[in-house]
Amino acid sequence: MTIRTAIALSTIVAGFAGALSGATLTPAEVEFFEQKIRPILAEHCYECHNSVDKKKGDLALDYRDAVLEGEVIVPGDPDKSPLIIAIRHEGDDYEPMPSKAPQLANVIIKNFEEWVRMGAPDPRTEKPTKVDLERQVDWETVRERRQEWWAFQALRKTAAPRADDQEWDGNEIDRFVHAGLQAQNLVPQNVASPETLVRRVHLILTGLPPSPGVVAHFVADPSMAAYEGMVDGLLALPAYGERWARYWMDWYRYAETHGSEGDPPVPYATQYRDYLIRAINADVPYDQLIREHLAGDLLAHPRINEGLGLNESAIGPGHFRMVPHGFGVTDAYGEQVTFTDNQVDVVSKAMMGLTVSCARCHNHKFDPISQRDYYKFYGIMISSRPAVVNVDAPALQDLHRQELAALKEEIRKGFSVHWLGQVDEAIRRLEGGKFEKTAETDPLAGWALLKDLDEEGLTKKLGDLRDKHLATLEDNEKAKAAATFYADLRDPETYKEWFRNGNGLGAAPSPAGSFAISVEGAKAITGIYPAGVYSHLISDKHNATLSSAFHLAKGSKAAVRVIGSKAVSRFVVRSYALSHGGLHPAPEMKPTLGWVGLGKYDYWNGDQGYFQFATGPDSTNRPGGGRSWFGALEVYAGDEGLREVGAPIVSLPGAMEAITDRASLLEFYRKSLREAVVAWREGALNDERALFLDAFVSRGFLSHELAGLPEGLRAQVDRYRRLEGEIRIPQRAPGVMEGEIWDQPLLTRGDYKKEEEPVERAFLEAFGGERYSKSESGRRELAEDILREDNPLTSRVIVNRLWNHVFGRGLVASADNFGRLGKEPSHPALLDSLAIDFRNGGWAMKPFVKQLVMSRTFRSDSASPAANGVRDPENLQLAHFTPRRLEAEAILDTINAVAKGGGVQRAMFRPVIRNRLDPFLSTFNFPVPITTVGDRDLTNVPAQALALMNGKEVEQAAREWSGRVVRERATPEARVELLFLQAYARLPSPEERAACLAYLEGKAPDESGPLRVKHAEQSAELVALNKERAEMLAPVRATLQLEVDERNAAATRDRKSVDLKPIGRWDFTGDARDAVGGMDGVLHGEAKIEDGALVLAGGCMMTPPLPQNLGEKTLEVLVQMDPITQRAGGAMTVQLLDGGVFDSVVFAERDAGEWMAGSNGFARTEPFGGAREEEAGERPVRIVIVYHGDGRIEGYRDGKRYGKSYRKSALQRYGEGQAQVVFGLRHGGEPQVGRMLTGRIFEARLYDRALTAEEVLTAESGFVMEVVNSGMVEKALSDSQRNQLVALDAKIASLTAAIAELDRQLAARDGAQAASGDAYYRLAHALLNSKELIYVH
C-alpha cells in the first residue's frame, strides 16, 4: 500500500488561492519549492512515484498535474493531506513514507507542512522525461543534501554550561550532563556507595571484581584522592589492556580461522591480539593505532618494542587477514569481491562509523557515499596482498648481517685456496665416481657418458651433446617468445618489477657463484648457485615473499625454475590466500634446481593472478615451521614449457676443441675446475661455471667436511655458525604487503561480470581530496585522510566507542553507524567537545577513559531517583548510572576469579575458531566474528540460565570457591560474609545473611520414598516368582542333570588341566570352597550350590576378606543366565567390604545384552561395545575381565576379545583384608534386587595379575563342560508346564524391567544428590547464579 489508499478524498478544495490551481507563482513561492521541496521529492519519492516507469499505488509526484490527480494534498490543510500524514508516520490508513527508509527529518516535514499551507505552489507544469528525472536526482545534489546529516558537520566547541551545584561543576562531562538533566527537570542521583563504586570501576576498567582487601581499603577511605589512586592503579594493570583489547577485537572481527569447510587457520593470528593488549596498556595514541592498523608496515618510523624485539607497528594490519574465506574456491573473482568487501566494511565501520560496503551495488541508499567511493576503497585494499609479515625489530632483522656477509667473503677466499690445492684430488674422485641417472645437463654427465668411448665414438657423442644443448637453447628462446608470461628474475630490471617482503631478499638478484653456508651438520656449504634471487644467503631463518604483477592466466601450463627447502611456489588467483582443496596448489620446492609445474594454471585461464614464492612459514595458508629458503630464477606460462638447460660439459668454453679422448677429457675437467675456483674467488663466475663448481662441491669431490678443513677456515665457518645461531626465528604476524597498484573497475550492480572503467583510488567524495599516488597502495594516504582534521567522524566515533564501553550506551547509541540509519547524539555539544579535546590532547585513550570514570556522572548510584518518576526511562540523560549485564568474558572471568581468588587465564585468550565458537561465551552474546561490533547484544535466553544452572564451568567454580571459603573461615557467618565480599564486594544485609544461613541449613525434601517402597514391593514379588519358577523346573532339571553329569564325566577323563595360578578358584563341585586361597564362599539369600554350579535366584555368595593386596587383576567367570533379558546383575565382583568401591563382571546394566566392567559410579566403566549377548541363556559363557596396571581394561568372551579395551581412569587397588569377592551381586553388603544376577555360575577364578590374551585362551580351552540348558529343559516340559513357564517368564521379564527402571531412577537421584554437594557448594553455586554477580551497577 502506498500513500494513495482506499479512502477516497472527496474534499479537494477546488480553486484554492494557491498554485495547485495553476495560478502564477510568486518568486518567493518558486524559491521555496525549488529549495525545500523539489530536492526532497526527487531524492525520496521519484524512484517509486514517477510518471515515466514506476507509479506505485497509482501515484506520481514528479509534476504538478500528477500530484493533483493523486489527491494527496489538501491545499492549506496539512493535517488533512495524506502526503503529510504519510511522511509524519501518522494514522493507520497510510503506509509510513518513504517506505524502507528512516523518517524524514523534522525540519523537512515542517517545510512540507508549510508548503501545503501555502497552497502547495508547484512550478512543475510539464510532465518530465526520463532524462529530466535522472537530472533531478543527480548524485551531487543528493550527496550534498545527505551531508547535512549531523555526523558530517564540522566539530564545534561549545563552552560547557556552568552548573549551579558545585559537585557537578567540575569537569566538562558533568556540566553538560547536569545541564541536560536540568533542561528536562530531572534530578541527579547521589554518589554511589564506596562498595558499589569500587566494584563498578574494577569491572569496567579490568573486567574483574575487586578482592575483599581492596574493597575494605577503599571503604575505609572513600575520598576522591583514594578513588583517583585506585583508578590510576587499575589503568596501569595488564588486566586493563586485556579487557579493552577485546573491544578492539570486536571492532575488527578478530578470528583465528577463516571459517568454511576445514576452517583453516589464519597463521599467527594471536600476534594481533597480543599486540592490541600491549598497545592499550602502553596507551599508544589512537591516531598512531589507526596508522598502524592501515599501514603499520609502511611507516617511516615504526614503533619498536625493544624488550620483545618487535616492530609493533607492523602487526597493526593483521586484521585485514581476518576475513572469512571460502574453501578451495572455484569462483576466485567472486571470492575476492566477498573478502575485499569484508575489509572495506570493517575498516569503514570501525574507524568512521560508516557503512561504505552498502555502496557496492549502487550509491548508498541513505548516506553521502557513492558507488565510486566503494570502489576507491576496494582498489586500496586489493593493491595490497595477503602476506605473512616478519615483525621483528629492524635491528633483529639485520642482526650480524654485515658481519656475516664480510665473513662469507673470507670463507670464500679460504675455500678457494683450500680447493685449488685439491683439484687433482677432485679429478681423481671424479674418475672413481659413480654416475647413475645423471641428467645430460649435469656438468659431470659428460664424464660419465664419454669416458669409456673410443675416439670416434667420443667425438660423435660430444657432437650430439652439443647439438642437444643448442637445440634446447633454441627451443627455450622460441617458447619464451610465445609465452603468455615470462620473467627472468636474474635480470635486475625484471626483479625490480616484482613485489618483495621479508629480510631474506636483497635489492637486486644475486650473481652467479653466490653461495650459502650450511649452519649445521658435517658439511660447510649448502650450495654454490647460478645467478638468481635467493632468500638464505645470510641465514635460512630469514624470511621472504616474492610476487609478480597481476597476470591474466592464459595457456596450458605454468612453471617456475626454483630451488629451495620447505618453501612454496604458487599462482595466486585473485589474491586468494589459501591453497586448500586441490584447485590452488602450492608445490613445495626441492633442494635441486629445476622447473616445477604449477598445476591448475589452465583451470584458471581467464582470471587475474600473480606468481608468488614464499619461505614455508611465510605462506599465508599454513602456520609454523622454522628454517626455510628458496632460490627463484625464472617463471614461465604458456603452451609450450621450458626445459632445463643446466651446464652440460659442452656449454663450457673450449670443450669441443679440447676433448678428443679420455685423457684430454679428464684434463679438460681439471683445467675447467681450476678456472672455476679461481673465477669464483674473483667473483667472476657465470651460471654454467657456477653449476660446474657446485657439481664438484655438492658431490664432495671438492671437500668441505668441517673435519678436514684447514684450521683457519674451520674457525671462520665455526664463527659463522655461532653468529648465525644468534639470529632468532623471526616473530611473524598476519598482514599484507604492497602489490601492484590496482584501480578497481566499478562493477555494475556489484556484478563482477560487468566491469566498467577503473575508479582511481582516493578518499570519500564527501571529504574531497587528491587522488592517491600511483606508487603505493594508498593505505598510508587513507590513514591520513581518516585522521584528517576536517573529517569529524573519526574522533567522534572513537570517543563515543570509549564512552559506550564505560557507560553501556554511547552518546550516539549506534556506535558502528553514524549514518542516517544510526542515532543522533543525546548530548551533541558534549560529544563534539570530547572529540575536539581528544584530538587536541594527542588522541590518548587512557586519560580519556580516566576522565570518564572520574566524572560525577559515572559515580552516581545505579538506582533511579524517585523524584524522576518514569521520565527518561532509558536514562539518556544519565540521572543515574545505568546498570547492565556484563559481557560474556567478564562473566566468565568473574566466575573464575571468585573461584580461584585470581590468577586465572582470562576468557579473552580462548581461541576464536569460527566454526567452533566457545559455547559458554556464545551463549552470552559473544559476537560471530564477521563484521564490526561496537555494542554487543545483551539478550536474555534460557540457554544462559541453563549454562549457569547446569554448566560445568559454574559447577567447577562453585566447588573450588566453596572449598576455599570453608578452609579460610571457621563459622557459617564468616563464610557467608566472605562469599558476599568476593562475589559482590559488599557484606550481606541482615536479611540476606539470614536467608543464606537458612539456605545452608535447609534440606531438599527427599521425594524418593515412594520409589523406594515400590522398589521393595516389586523386589519381593520378583524373588517369589523366581522361586516359583525354580521349584517348577527342579524335577525336570534333576533328571536332565543326571544325563549331563554322565557325559561330562566321560569328557573330563581326557582333560588336561592347566594351572594359570589363580589366587582364588571356585568350582562349585558340591560346595562353595575356594580350592586355592581359602576364600570359601558364604551363601546369602536364595543362593545354593547344585549340580556343580552356584545357582543364583535372588541370592548371592560372598567370601571373607582377601588375604593379600590386589592391584592388577583378572576376573574369570563361567556363567549361564536365566532369563537373558535380565538387567544389571553382577556375576563376579571384587569390592571393598562395604560394597562402596568395586570392580565387577556386570551384565546389561547400561545397554541390554552387553557385558561390561562395572564399577562404582561407572568410575572405571565404559561400554566395551561388544556384540549383544544372545547365547548365555542356552549355555554358559566364559567372561574374563582383565585389569591392567595402567588402568586399561579388557574384556573377553569365550576366549575371544569382547569389544574394545579402554582406559578411563587409574587401576583400583584393594588393600589386604579390606576387600572380598562376591558372586551374583553387583556390589553391596546383602542381596539387593536390581544388582543381582539370576542364573548359574559354574566356575570362577581370581588372579592377582593381568592375564595375557594367550592365557585367557588357555583358561577358555581348559574346560568344556556340558550343562543343562533352557532348551533341554523346555523340550522336557509337558505342554501345560511349558505354558506355565511362558506366563511366568513374561511376568518375570516385565517385573525385572520395572525394577530396573526404578533402580535407574533411584541411581540418578543418588547421583544428583551427590552432585548437589555440601551446603557451601550449594550456596556458592547459587551466588554464581545470582544476577548481581553478572551485573555491573
Partner 1 sequence: MSIDQSSRREFLKLTSCGVSAVTLSSLINGSQAWGATEPKLHHSARAKSVILLYMSGGVSHVDSFDPKPLLKERHGQAMPVELERTQFDANGNIMASPWEIGRYGESGLEMTNMFPKIAACADDLAIVRSMTAKFSEHAQANFFMHTGFPFLGYPSAGAWVTYGCGSANPNLPGYVVLQSKQAGTPHGGVSLFGNGFLPATTQGSIFKISGDQAVPNISPGMLKSEQRRALDFIGQLDRGFADRVAAKDAVMASVQNAETAYLMQEAVPELTDISGESEATKALYGVNSDNAQQAEYARQCLMARRLVERGVRFVELSCCNQGIGAGGAANPWDQHGDLEKGHGAMAEQVDGPIAALLADLKERGMLEETLVVFTGEFGRTPFSQGSNGRDHDPYGFSLWLSGGGVRGGQAYGATDELGYKAVHNIATVYDLWATVLHQLGIDHEKLTYRWSGRDMRLTDVHGKVWDGLVT
> How many CB atoms sit inside 10 A of residue 489's CB?
24
Which residue reads 512515484 in cell numbers? Answer: 49
Q: Considering only residues 583, 666, 1137, 1257, which one is a binding residue for partner 1 as defined by CB under 8 A?
A: 583
Quick check: 882 binds partner 1 (CB under 8 A)? yes
In whole angstroms, how close is the CB of 149 to partner 1 at the nearest point?
A: 13
Cα gap 842→286, rounded to integer Å: 8
Question: Which residue's CB is nearer to partner 1, number 364 or number 846?
Answer: 364
Angle between helices 1279-1315 and 1009-1052 (to 10 degrees): 130
In whole angstroms, how close is the CB of 980 to partner 1 at the nearest point?
A: 10
Q: Which DSSP state fits 745?
A: E
Cα gap 799→564, rounded to integer Å: 50
Cα gap 51→73, rounded to integer Å: 18
Residues within window 523-562 making contact with partner 1, judged by CB under 8 A: none
Quick check: 1053 binds partner 1 (CB under 8 A)? no
Quick check: 885 binds partner 1 (CB under 8 A)? yes
Strand partners, 733: 389
Q: Considering only residues 440, 618, 785, 816, which one is a binding residue for partner 1 as defined by CB under 8 A?
A: 816
Quick check: 1153 binds partner 1 (CB under 8 A)? no
Q: Considering only residues 883, 1104, 1167, 1199, which one is a binding residue for partner 1 as defined by CB under 8 A?
A: 883
Instruction: Pull the grid cell for residue 1260.
Output: 577358555
Pair 558, 485: CB distance under 8 Å = yes
Cα gap 694→513, rounded to integer Å: 9
Question: Which residue's CB is nearer to partner 1, number 194 or number 530?
Answer: 194
Strand partners, 563: 631
Q: Is 1031 exposed, middle or buried (0-12, 13-18, 19+ CB in 10 A)?
A: exposed
Select the span of 73-81, 514-522, 533-541, 860-868 touching partner 1 (CB under 8 A).
Answer: 860-868
In whole angstroms, how close is the CB of 359 to partner 1 at the nearest point?
A: 10
Residues within window 772-801 making contact with partner 1, judged by CB under 8 A: none
Contacts of 330 (CB under 8 A, 6+ apart): 583
Kindly report the CA angle at 893 between 890 and 895, in degrees rounded to 5? 110
Residue 681: alpha-carbon gap to chain centroid: 53
Kindly report the CA angle at 1206 between 1200 and 1209, in degrees rounded to 5? 140
Quick check: 486 binds partner 1 (CB under 8 A)? no
In whole angstroms, how close is the CB of 209 to partner 1 at the nearest point?
A: 15
Quick check: 1327 binds partner 1 (CB under 8 A)? yes
Strand partners, 392: 310
Question: Which residue's CB is nearer to partner 1, number 77 or number 1332?
Answer: 1332
Residue 1098: alpha-carbon gap to chain centroid: 57
Identify which of 1169, 1170, 1126 has the alpha carbon closest to the alpha carbon of residue 1149.
1126
Contacts of 96 (CB under 8 A, 6+ apart): 86, 87, 89, 103
Quick check: 1332 binds partner 1 (CB under 8 A)? yes
Quick check: 817 binds partner 1 (CB under 8 A)? yes
Instruction: Pull the grid cell for residue 1202.
Output: 569382547
Q: Considering only residues 1, 187, 439, 928, which one is a binding residue for partner 1 as defined by CB under 8 A?
A: 928
Q: What does the chain come to in residues?
A: 1337
179 three-state secondary structure: helix
573 three-state secondary structure: strand
In whole angstroms, how close is the CB of 1327 to partner 1 at the nearest point?
A: 8
Identify which of 1123, 1080, 1023, 1086 has the alpha carbon closest to the alpha carbon of residue 1244.
1080
Number of residues that bind partner 1 (CB under 8 A): 98
Residues within window 335-354 making contact with partner 1, judged by CB under 8 A: 338, 345, 349
Quick check: 992 binds partner 1 (CB under 8 A)? yes
DSSP 3-state percent helix, strand, coil across the chain (nearest 5): 45, 15, 40
Question: Which residue's CB is nearer to partner 1, number 938 or number 1058?
Answer: 938
Question: Which residue's CB is nearer to partner 1, number 748 or number 882?
Answer: 882
Q: Considering only residues 397, 864, 894, 1238, which one is a binding residue for partner 1 as defined by CB under 8 A?
A: 864
Write each residue from 1280 to 1309 as x if it is in contact with partner 1 (CB under 8 A), else as -, in one continuous string.
Answer: -----------------------------x
Quick check: 582 binds partner 1 (CB under 8 A)? yes
Residues within window 41-80 making contact with partner 1, judged by CB under 8 A: none
Residues within window 584-643 making contact with partner 1, judged by CB under 8 A: 600, 603
Residues within window 298-337 making contact with partner 1, judged by CB under 8 A: 324, 326-331, 334
Q: Considering only residues 915, 1252, 1283, 1294, which one is a binding residue for partner 1 as defined by CB under 8 A?
A: 915
Residues within window 236-275 making contact with partner 1, judged by CB under 8 A: 259-263
Cα gap 69→61, rounded to integer Å: 10
Question: Which residue's CB is nearer to partner 1, number 141 or number 925?
Answer: 925
Cα gap 1003→1316, rounded to integer Å: 11
Question: Which residue's CB is nearer to partner 1, number 598 or number 1256?
Answer: 598
Contacts of 1079 (CB under 8 A, 6+ apart): 1064, 1103, 1104, 1106, 1107, 1220, 1221, 1246
Identify which of 1171, 1178, 1172, 1152 has the alpha carbon closest to the alpha carbon of residue 1300.
1152
Question: Which residue's CB is nearer to partner 1, number 192 or number 512?
Answer: 192
Select the span of 126-134, 408-416, 836-844, 1315-1323 touching partner 1 (CB under 8 A).
Answer: 1315-1323
Question: Which residue's CB is nearer to partner 1, number 224 or number 945?
Answer: 945
Q: Considering only residues 131, 220, 225, 1004, which one is a binding residue for partner 1 as defined by CB under 8 A?
A: 1004
Select the span of 678-686, 718-726, 1233-1241, 1328-1336 touching partner 1 (CB under 8 A).
Answer: 1328-1336
Quick check: 748 binds partner 1 (CB under 8 A)? no
Cα gap 1327→1322, rounded to integer Å: 9
Question: Which residue's CB is nearer to partner 1, number 882 or number 1284?
Answer: 882
Q: Is 492 exposed, middle or buried (0-12, 13-18, 19+ CB in 10 A)?
A: exposed
Strand partners, 734: 388
Q: Considering only residues 11, 773, 840, 939, which one is a binding residue for partner 1 as defined by CB under 8 A?
A: 939
Select the span of 217-225, 757-765, 1068-1076, 1314-1322 touching partner 1 (CB under 8 A).
Answer: 1314-1322
Residues within window 89-108 making contact with partner 1, judged by CB under 8 A: 100
Q: Considering only residues 211, 925, 1232, 1281, which one is a binding residue for partner 1 as defined by CB under 8 A?
A: 925
Residues within window 354-393 making contact with partner 1, judged by CB under 8 A: 355, 358, 365-367
Residues within window 940-969 making contact with partner 1, judged by CB under 8 A: 940-951, 955
Cα gap 891→1335, rounded to integer Å: 8
In whole angstroms, how close is the CB of 243 to partner 1 at the nearest point?
A: 20
Quick check: 1039 binds partner 1 (CB under 8 A)? no
Question: Positive or negative, the Cα torsion across 198, 203, 207, 211?
Answer: positive
755 three-state secondary structure: strand
Question: Which residue's CB is nearer to partner 1, number 992 or number 1178?
Answer: 992
Pair 658, 668: CB distance under 8 Å = yes
Pair 891, 202: CB distance under 8 Å = no
In whole angstroms, how close is the CB of 291 to partner 1 at the nearest point?
A: 26
Cα gap 382→966, rounded to integer Å: 61
Quick check: 1162 binds partner 1 (CB under 8 A)? no
End-to-end CA distance of the chain: 46
Q: Considering only residues 213, 873, 990, 1009, which one is a binding residue for partner 1 as defined by CB under 8 A?
A: 873
Quick check: 1252 binds partner 1 (CB under 8 A)? no
Question: Which residue's CB is nearer to partner 1, number 746 or number 979?
Answer: 979
Quick check: 919 binds partner 1 (CB under 8 A)? yes
In whole angstroms, how close is the CB of 327 to partner 1 at the nearest point?
A: 5
Question: Which residue's CB is nearer to partner 1, number 500 or number 574?
Answer: 574
